[in-house]
Amino acid sequence: MHPSPGDWNQFYSQFLRKTGIDLALYKPSQLQRRILSMVEQQGCKDLAAFYQWMNSTPANVEWFLDKMAINVSELFRNPEKWAEIENRVLPELLGKGKGLRAWSAGCSYGAEAHSLAMILHANFRGVHSVLGTDIDTAALNQARSGEFSDADVRCVPDKYKREYLRESQGKWTAQPSLKGLLKFQRQNLLADRFEQGFDLIMCRNVVIYFTDEAKDKLYQRFFDSLAPGGYLWVGSTERVFKAQDLGFETPLPFFYRKPLMGQKLWRTAS
Ligand SMILES: C[S@@+](CC[C@H](N)C(=O)[O-])C[C@H]1O[C@@H](n2cnc3c(N)ncnc32)[C@H](O)[C@@H]1O
């Protein structure tokens, strides 16, 4: 099956009307390959038939989003970066003794948000909050349950595993002490309103599917959502190409800081 550009446009605009999600903001090569494999899986003869199938019940739309999203994650993913957060970024952000307001944007099933909650609860006094948002409601439901697999916990430092996770029959459950810090809600990063005043925004391994224009706009909106001195943390294969134009400082690789007016705390990383 080889849909024409017109077929794709029709599919995108029907989907946008139905869900508010603009698929034209995703990189076409990856997105279309993934959609065509779903069309085949459902035995539909073309995109129009696939849209009809999807439109027949909300569960089918959820299935589509779940498949499209690719939720791969794990607790303390890229452990060396988590050490930097714990030892350099958080002490700077929490130096004044107030609590931290953090956001895991594209949180999948909550591994990143739970990792940060463990570090905050164990090491830093104050009233902290960690918001996790994602477009995928199935992933968010799992995030709220605080349940993780063996594979998810392989990078968790022993002290945090002992304190914050309980194992039963191959399933690891986050301790209730973390619940008060965490909140999960659905949000489309490419369309919905952002809250303001975050000290830390983590958006890792999410934008790889977005077009360059969509990424630029998103990073501008993250900049606006940060409090002065706040940090944006991106994935270990990602870069904010227009960081300087947007006004970010780059104190550490993969970390971008909104300046505290007139004050530079670290020299720019090479
Ligand atoms: C690979 S996971 C990243 C999880 C976590 N940030 C990490 O690095 O381990 C990518 C997540 O981005 C979410 N996502 C994709 N498009 C999105 C959008 N427009 N708005 C919000 N979340 C989105 C997916 O649902 C998926 O859960």
Ligand 1 center to 220 CA (angstroms)? 18
Q: Is the CB of 204 under 6 A from ligand 1?
A: yes
Q: Given the DSSP bridges, would you call strands 182-186 and 129-134 parallel, antiparallel or unpaired?
A: parallel
Query: Which residue is listed with tokens 């939720």?
Result: 71
> Which distant-in-sequence residues (6+ apart) come within 8 Å of 195 by Cβ?
103, 131, 225
For residues 2-19, average pLDDT: 92
174-183, 232-241, 253-262: the lowest-pLDDT one: 253-262
> Which distant-in-sequence residues (6+ apart) come within 8 Å of 231 by Cβ?
89, 93, 199, 200, 201, 255, 256, 257, 258
Burial of 73 (0-12, 13-18, 19+ CB in 10 A): buried
Q: Is the CB of 206 under 6 A from ligand 1?
A: yes
pLDDT at position 8 is: 96
Q: Domains in the chain and their CATH numbers?
A: 5-69 (1.10.155), 79-257 (3.40.50.150)
Q: Is the CB of 134 under 6 A from ligand 1?
A: yes
Residue of 250, 244, 110 whose CA lies nearest to 173: 110
CB 71 within 8 A of CB 142: no
Instruction: Categorize the per-residue pLDDT at 92 as very low, low, confident or very high, splitting at 50, 70 and 90.
Output: very high
Cα–Cα distance, 105 to 102 (Å, whole number): 10
For residues 98-102, average pLDDT: 94
Q: Is the CB of 142 under 6 A from ligand 1?
A: no
* Predicted confidence (pLDDT) per residue in 191-224, tens digit: 999 999 999 999 999 998 899 999 999 999 999 9
CB 227 within 8 A of CB 257: no
